[in-house]
Amino acid sequence: MRAVHERRDLDWDAELTRCHEASFGWALRCCGYDRAEADEVLQTAYLKVLDGRARFAGRSEPKTFLFGVIRKTASERRRRERLARLLPSRLSEPTEPESPQDHAAREGDTALLLRCMARLGRRQQEVLHLVFYGEMTVEQAAGAMGVGVGTARTHYARGKRHLREFLAEQEG
């Protein structure tokens, strides 16, 4: 029988510290690798957890719960930004040019992998990121994504297969 965690049993400060690196990686993925946006999303998600707006019911591991809060927070932010762009009274801000450091970071193997990952479906990208960078099992990733385990396994298998195909295309 799986242990049930309750909010009062958890030291959320310690849990957030323990999961911070993986949480930031997941926030980056959820924010299209925009570091500033990921910082804001992560801060908002942490606040939701700490002030009780996101309530941990104990139906999953704390890390799985946290990654779900991050995903939902990023999704809410994108939805607000899309709405703001649709409002006629709002002028869009000019985008900043890419810095030389950011450009260099996109080079090489990382850039190739990101280009290939971008060709995958959204759910395939998410489950692969959670498993490989978030160090989660497919079952934990399913919880963070809010989908069934079978659905996550399907996206995981298809994502890996497509990623291998895309990488092979680039090499050949």
Start and end residues for every CATH 1.10.10.10 domain found in the chain: 102-172
Residue 29 corresponds to which tokens in the numbers above?
């993925």
Tokens read off for 61: 């591991």
pLDDT of residue 167: 82
The CA distances from residue 54 to 81, 99, 121, 168, in Å, are 22, 36, 28, 42
Q: What percent of the chain has pLDDT over 90?
A: 49
pLDDT above 60 for 26 = yes
Mean pLDDT check: name the lowest of 45-49, 92-96, 149-153.
92-96
Give the pLDDT of residue 9.
Answer: 66
Q: What's the mean per-residue pLDDT of the chain? A: 82
> Phi and psi at residue 105, in whole multiples of 5°?
-65, -25
The segment(s) of the chain belonging to CATH 1.10.1740 are 1-95
Considering the domain 102-172, what is its CATH architecture? Orthogonal Bundle (1.10)
**Could you name the CATH architecture of 1-95?**
Orthogonal Bundle (1.10)
> What percentage of the chain exceeds 70 in pLDDT?
78
Q: In terms of C-beta distances under 8 Å and separation of at least 24 residues, what long-range contacts does 76-84 make, across chains too?
A: 77/31, 77/37, 77/40, 77/41, 77/44
- pLDDT value of position 34: 93
The pLDDT tens digits for 72-92 are 999 888 877 776 565 544 344
